[in-house]
Structure 1
Amino acid sequence: MPRTKGVLLTAAVCCAAVLTGCSDDDTPSSVSSAASRAASAAESLGSRASAAVSSLDSAASSALASATAKAGRELDEIRNGVDVTSDIDLGTPGTDKDGRATVDVTASNTADATKSFAVQVDFTDPGGNRLDTVVVTVSDVPAGGNGTATARSNRDLSGEVKAEVARALRY
């Protein structure tokens, strides 16, 4: 988003150059006045771009907080679940036809009976910052077997996206 602010500022400066070149009066005061108006316009555009970026950042933070809270509630509702994070493997993240991040989830059932799994998958950027989180269920995995499901982000994620198992319960 900072690039948008730079583009707007560049456009305002170009407008100032055009205004200066089109002036009927070549006196220093008219050139100065045109430059001043262009600078003011650039500042105004820059302020609006900053406000737009802040608004988008706020919306993304709110969506992430909501998704995180929802994931926590879903996992907290499971009774007698056993932490089995180490029994979960994730594939390579990709993007589906709708632009959402996806990753295949494989659950290995080491129990002696059929079990289901609730897996919280965090989608992160390369720096480890959480972009989104979801809970996927891998149902009815036979004893000693594997089951698969696909985790899908709640919203479009841009840039390089990684995935990690945040929490996993077998029940």
Structure 2
Amino acid sequence: MPGHMGRSTAAAVLMALVAVGAGGCSDDGGGSAKEAASAAASVGSRAADSLASATAEAGRRLESVKGGVDAEDDVKLGATRTDDSGRTAVTVTAHNTADTEKSFVVVLDFRDGGGNLLDVVVVTVRDVAAGKSGTATARSNRTLSGTVKAEVGTAVRY
């Protein structure tokens, strides 16, 4: 399913860029809709490739965890914000309900207002003491625009 969501996102980007490019065309030879469409297709392709790469990396990171247990209920997210580099960021807080020190791997999905998947990020909250909480900051892999919401896709305590 992530590939389907990536194609939907790429198609939306492509249509928006084609519309903007076509709207900016003039009769003075300053550009063509064909050139705008070509540029938009390139951007859309790179966005889809980036999302596919991030999703694959999330899968690899989860597969590397041995002896983990589902911990989605123990993870809370702060409000999304734009950091100094222009990327979307969110604070991840993991509460360790185990009786020994544990770490958490959390996969976050960044989605737009329509629910389309924009990016996938993996963050590790390391060495959380028993009964305590630890935090980490998750940052998008690239600049995201519009309203962006972060959701916990998967969380594993190990």
Residue 144 of structure 2 is aligned to residue 146 of structure 1? no
Q: Which has the larger radius of gyration?
A: 1
Structure with higher helix content: 1
Rounded Cα–Cα distance in structure 1 between residues aligned with 2:130 and 2:115: 34
Q: CA deviation at 1:128?
A: 1.2
2:38 to 51, 58, 75: 51
Task: Give the TM-score, by structure 2 length.
Answer: 0.85
| Contiguous gaps of at least 5 residues in structure 2 | 1-16
Equivalent residues, number: 141
Question: Deviations for 1:114-153, whole angstroms, at most 9, x for unmatched residues?
Answer: 1000000111101111111111010111111111000011
Q: CA deviation at 1:6?
A: 1.2
**4+ runs of 1 displaced by more than 3 Å?**
none
Rounded Cα–Cα distance in structure 2 between residues aligned with 1:127 and 1:84: 27
Give the aligned partner of residue 4 of structure 1.
21
Residue 98 of structure 2 is aligned to residue 81 of structure 1? no
Q: CA deviation at 1:63?
A: 0.5
What code does the residue aligned with 1:144 have? G
Rounded Cα–Cα distance in structure 1 between residues aligned with 2:71 and 2:139: 21
1:72 to 38, 55, 59: 59
Give the aligned partner of residue 60 of structure 1.
47
Give the aligned partner of residue 135 of structure 1.
122
1:155 to 135, 142, 146: 142
Rounded Cα–Cα distance in structure 2 between residues aligned with 1:149 and 1:163: 14
Give the aligned partner of residue 153 of structure 2.
166
Q: CA deviation at 1:4?
A: 2.1
**1:60 alignment partner, SS class:** helix
What code does the residue aligned with 1:6 have? G
Higher relative contact order (CA 8 A, sep 6+): 2
Rounded Cα–Cα distance in structure 1 between residues aligned with 2:75 and 2:114: 22
| Contiguous gaps of at least 5 residues in structure 1 | 16-40
Residue 88 of structure 2 is aligned to residue 92 of structure 1? no
Residue 117 of structure 2 is aligned to residue 117 of structure 1? no
